[in-house]
Structure 1
């Protein structure tokens, strides 16, 4: 009897021990699977596709700063090299996220290219991706910063330009009362006030024109235009001043070359070029206005025999308020906006403008526009 109980007890103990081994093996297997999962460098499901699809620079980084996945933009910005995150500012962000777990958003400025002659402004966001990885997204804000800088410069320039005629008018107004008994002085001050008021009006008008040119519907009423009419109108607007100084406005080149655009704006552009040529050329000189066309491109060329523009200043002559000679420009009434207006008009018409100059020999400005083909229909009727 006792032997039977001993057998049963032995069998029970064997079952318990066997079950224990099975449980231990199962736990060991689960721990092994978890260890494999932790050690794996695979990116979580779906992240690869997201990184490939987004326009931002996207990176997935492991705890050793190895880049597990990166978008093409990340390589373009130079954030990755040899599979490693190389920008220290972003490394610091990743380390902070890995330490504290909270997402971070910061502005990072990095040099563009090996010479560091230009900067890229990035809005960088870093956050945890699961328990192991860190996700970094960087958006390029360089263009926004450039536009903001341009806006600030424009406002500063406007303030400076308006201050000069306004200050002059205020001083002249103060001088009028003490000179009330001297009619000649009053007339002289009044003439000066008229000149400054006209200058103020011109600056205001050109600023409004620049703002209008930035509208998206500036060419909503585009028509087919004969460039003969554009050149003729621009010459008519300048011939009185040119004749008074003994200048010759010579028109030549091809006839009946057509473009599609806004006649008033193109006339303004050519008028500004001719007016500049008259303004900065010596008396009794010759100004040429020619029209050419070739291979679908129409050109309006204005050439003068003026003082010329230094080579280093040529790339800047189309900037707002830029003047080659500040003192001479103020004496001649220039605002520094004329060529900027020309550039905007031409670009709005799908063309470009080029400048050539040599000191003491003169300058040549060339407007290039798409030529209207013989079968091109005028959108709103045809101007001839």
Structure 2
């Protein structure tokens, strides 16, 4: 009997110890899960997919402002580095949202990355995401701000450029009235009036042309063109001016290359480069023009022996209305739009333009265009 009670007591004690052990395991598991949730917080359902699909920047912050999820845009903008926000301004906004619970929207100018020199204009919005997280969304407005600045500068430059010939036309018209009885003076003022009117017409036409080019992303109806014919046409338009200043235009060998493009635009681009070379060359000097093909790339080169371009201005010469020598440009009738037009013409043809220059020794401009893959049309002889 006594042995039976001992067996029952041992069994009860075993069950009690086992139940306690199971309880300890359950409690330990609950604590472990809670700790894991704190260390590895889960993003609310659906947020992962939304952030992965965002083209702009999106970031989810935990209660300690650690980044637990970010979109590719946030990484490419440099907003997130090592799972942390890279800008104190964004951290301050996140703390404010967490403190007040209210969403905020701000326009910020931040560096692109923690050590970047380039700045970016961002429109950011932060809001609570559930009870624990903060969601940050950022839209890069840098390009929009740049275009606004370009537009403002363009309008200001147009106003300035138009003011000079318009004022000159008004003054010359008034002078003509006072000199009505002096035929020589009338003729002189009339000639100057014609010159200013032509300059005004040329400036207006180039502004219209540049606006069309900037609105045109690609060629609408490209044709298969002979590059040698384009170069010859661009040169012919400058023969009279070059001969008047005793400037020799030397033409290289024929390239026999073909290009897909717009003939009028390409001739205009070559013409503008040759005209610049002639205008900035001394009387009696030489301008070289040539075209060649290398590895499927057509290169049209215009070289002069003129005054050259300072190194600091090389990055700006394709800007609208930019002139290296303001006085000389105005004396030769330059509008400051020629090289900008060349750049846009070349770009919509899938090419680029490069420049080399040394002050006092001259400049070389090179248009690079993709060679047409179609064979050149066969030469046709006279019909027998």
> TM-score when scaled to structure 2?
0.84
2:50 paired with 1:50: yes
**Pairing 1:239–2:222 present:** no
Larger displacement relative to structure 2 (211-220 or 248-257): 211-220
Matching residue of 1:87: 87
SS of the residue corresponding to residue 173 of structure 1 reads helix
2:86–2:114 CA contact under 8 A, matched in 1: no
* Matches for 1:1-384 after TM superposition, within 5 Å: 36=34, 41-113=41-113, 117-216=117-216, 219-375=219-375
CA distance in 2, matches of 1:69, 1:42: 10
CA distance in 2, matches of 1:289, 1:266: 15
The answer to whether the 8 Å contact 2:355/2:366 transfers is yes
CA distance in 1, matches of 2:66, 2:374: 62
Distance 1:222 1:57 in 2: 39
| TM-superposed deviation, 1:353 | 0.8
Q: Report the Cα distance in structure 1 between the residues aligned to 2:101 and 2:349, rounded to whole angstroms.
A: 53
CA RMSD of aligned residues (A): 2.4
Query: Is the Cα contact below 8 Å between 2:255 and 2:293 reproduced in 1?
Result: no
Deviates more, 1:357-366 or 1:208-217: 208-217
SS in 2 for 1:164: helix
Q: When the two structures are aligned, how many residues end up with a matched partner?
A: 347
With 211-220 and 366-375 compared, the bigger mean Cα shift is at 211-220
Structure 1 unaligned regions, length at least 5: 1-28, 378-384
Instruction: Give the corresponding residue for 2:15.
Output: none
Q: 2:161, 2:56 → 1: CA distance?
A: 41
CA distance in 2, matches of 1:36, 1:218: 59
The 1:115/1:65 distance shift into structure 2, 3 A limit, reads closer
Moved more, 191-200 or 86-95: 86-95
Q: What is the CA deviation profile of residues 137-183 of structure 1, one whole-angstrom value per residue up to 9, with x for unaligned ones?
A: 11111111111111111111111111111111122223333333333
How far apart, in 1, do the equivalents of 2:178 and 2:296 lie? 65
Query: 1:115 Cα shift?
Result: 5.5
Deviations 1:220-272 (A, max 9, x none): 22111111211121122111111122221111123321111111110000011
Q: Kindly state the Cα deviation for residue 376 of structure 1 after the two structures are TM-superposed.
A: 7.8
Change over 3 Å in CA distance of 1:237–1:124 after alignment to 2? same
Q: Greater relative contact order (Cα 8 A, min sep 6): structure 1 or 2? A: 1
Residue segments in structure 2 that go unaligned for 5+ positions in a row: 1-26, 378-384
- Worse-superposed segment, 235-244 or 179-188: 179-188
- Kindly tell me: are residues 255 and 59 of structure 1, through their superposed partners in 2, closer, same or farther at Cα, counting changes over 3 Å? closer
For residue 85 of structure 1, report the CA deviation from its aligned partner. Answer: 2.8
Cα shift at 1:362: 1.3
Return the alpha-carbon distance in structure 2 between the equivalents of residues 87 and 61 of structure 1. 14
Shifted more, 339-348 versus 114-123: the winner is 114-123
SS of the equivalent of 2:58 reads strand
Instruction: Name the CA shift for 1:248/1:81 in 2 (closer, same or farther; >3 Å).
Output: closer
Structure 2: distance between partners of 1:295 and 1:137 = 46
Deviation at 1:89, TM superposition (A): 2.0
Moved more, 194-203 or 104-113: 104-113
Tell me the secondary structure at the aligned position of residue 315 of structure 1.
coil
